[in-house]
């Protein structure tokens, strides 16, 4: 029988993917790269890039897979030329995430894992890393949706 946590995580990832795609589709480059409250805020493109890169990393921690390369500060500098380019990035990162929660995996959810940042001496449960990956992603999907709503309201 497949692991119910992995099956549930895959379902939640797919739902988040559908919601993220819906919030991105059809937007012009100005909307994708717009920072709603200036330079201290993040664009839809940057949030999408950061949220999925982070999700992929936390899922790797959860299932004890090799950590992907990551440069967190540059995630927030990402800009998209158009919606198709951003959707291609999103689709690729979601596929990476889904592969990490493949139903054929066996995971000890009570196992302790090292925090991905080696400068922090933190251990956490594999289950915590999985839950954090999903809740962090959902938070950012909501921000992307809200930013689209703000963009559309601004144009009225």
What per-residue confidence (pLDDT) applies to 156? Answer: 64
* pLDDT exceeds cutoff 70 at 140: yes
Tally of domains in the chain: 1
pTM: 0.94
In angstroms, the CA 125 to CA 129 distance is 7
Q: What is the CATH number of the domain that holds 125?
A: 1.20.120.450
Could you give the percent of the chain with pLDDT greater than 70? 99
Residue 115 banded pLDDT, cuts 50, 70, 90: confident
CB 129, CB 113: distance < 8 Å: yes
**Amino acid 154: pLDDT:** 86
State which residues form the domain around 31. 4-154
Task: Output the CA torsion sign for 30, 36, 42, 44.
Answer: negative
pLDDT digits (tens, 9 = 90+) for 30-65: 999 999 998 899 999 999 999 999 999 999 999 999
What integer pLDDT is reported at residue 121 of this predicted model? 86
């Amino acid at each position: 029988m497949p692991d119910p946590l992995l099956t549930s995580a895959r379902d939640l990832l797919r739902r988040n993917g559908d919601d993220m795609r819906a919030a991105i589709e059809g937007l012009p480059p100005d909307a994708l790269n717009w920072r709603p409250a200036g330079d201290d805020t993040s664009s839809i493109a940057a949030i999408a890039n950061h949220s999925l890169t982070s999700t992929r990393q936390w899922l790797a921690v959860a299932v004890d897979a090799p950590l992907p390369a990551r440069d967190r500060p540059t995630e927030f500098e990402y800009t998209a030329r158009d919606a198709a380019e951003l959707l291609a990035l999103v689709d690729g990162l979601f596929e990476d995430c889904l592969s990490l929660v493949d139903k054929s995996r066996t995971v000890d959810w009570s196992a302790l894992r090292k925090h991905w940042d080696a400068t922090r001496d933190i251990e956490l449960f594999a289950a915590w890393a999985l839950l954090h990956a999903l809740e962090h992603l959902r938070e950012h999907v909501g921000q992307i949706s809200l930013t689209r709503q703000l963009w559309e309201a601004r144009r009225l």
